[in-house]
Amino acid sequence: MGLVQKKNKQLSTYIVAFAPVVLWAILIFVLSNQPVLPGPPSVSLDFFFKKIGHITVYAVLWWLLHRAFSSTHPKNKFALTWLSLLIVLVYAVSDEYHQSLVPGRHPGFKDVGYDMLGASIAWMKKHSYI
């Protein structure tokens, strides 16, 4: 295999691995850009569903990142675990900042905690801790 073919194969591996991550991040961005998210009329149920949403969406983001790093850097344990968590944290913080710029939305530091709870649950599930 020539050098150009090898580079093209590496590039296609990265695209296939990280495209779902980028698409999921875009989905999070689009949802965060909505002035009002629909929810049940009950304040308690609305709170419950929105926090479960945070946990689930960021668990999936961590899983997609872990999957991408597993495909591209399978032996790099740092990338598989800590870099995935760090990227989720940075994205969660940037998402809350983004919400501060959207009329009708209110950022919350607690939401970053729910996001990281989701990523942590995904990590623990992946490593059979739960």
Domain ranges of the chain: 15-33+43-126
Portion of the chain with pLDDT greater than 90, in percent:
71
Q: What tens digit of pLDDT does each residue of 112-130 get?
A: 999 999 999 999 998 877 6
Q: What is the pTM of this model?
A: 0.90
What is the 3-state secondary structure of the chain? Answer: CCHHHHHHHHHHHHHHHHHHHHHHHHHHHHHHCCCCCCCCCCHHHHHHHHHHHHHHHHHHHHHHHHHHHHHHCCCCHHHHHHHHHHHHHHHHHHHHHHHHCCCCCCCCHHHHHHHHHHHHHHHHHHCCCC
Name the band, by pLDDT with cuts 50, 70 and 90, for residue 66. Answer: very high
